[in-house]
Amino acid sequence: MKEIEIKTETIRLGQLLKAAGLVGTGGEAKWRIREGEAKVNGEVEVRRGRQLRPGDLVEFAGKMVKVTV
């Protein structure tokens, strides 16, 4: 499991996927999230702007990413 440390209170899902290196561009993140490829805390998420907080788990392309502070 990869951990992404954030300095702010929240990070948007699309930004997290880019920061984790799971997508190359914001456009790719937008398209793949809308296709239902991302899960947040075990539930499919289709909103690119979903606000993630420390402790949230994101599953994408067979990889897990945890948001930390």
Q: What is the pLDDT of residue 5?
A: 95
Q: What is the DSSP letter of 19?
A: H
Percent of the chain clearing pLDDT 70 (strictly above): 100
Structural domains in the chain? 2-68 (3.10.290.10)
Rounded-to-5 percentages of helix, strand, coil across the chain: 25, 35, 40
Average model confidence (pLDDT) across the chain: 96
**Secondary structure of residue 66 in the 3-state scheme:** strand
Q: What is the pLDDT of residue 67?
A: 98
Residue 53's alpha-carbon distances to 6, 29, 31, 35, in angstroms, are 9, 18, 22, 23
User: Which tens digit of pLDDT belongs to each residue from 29-57?
Assistant: 999 999 999 999 999 999 999 999 999 99
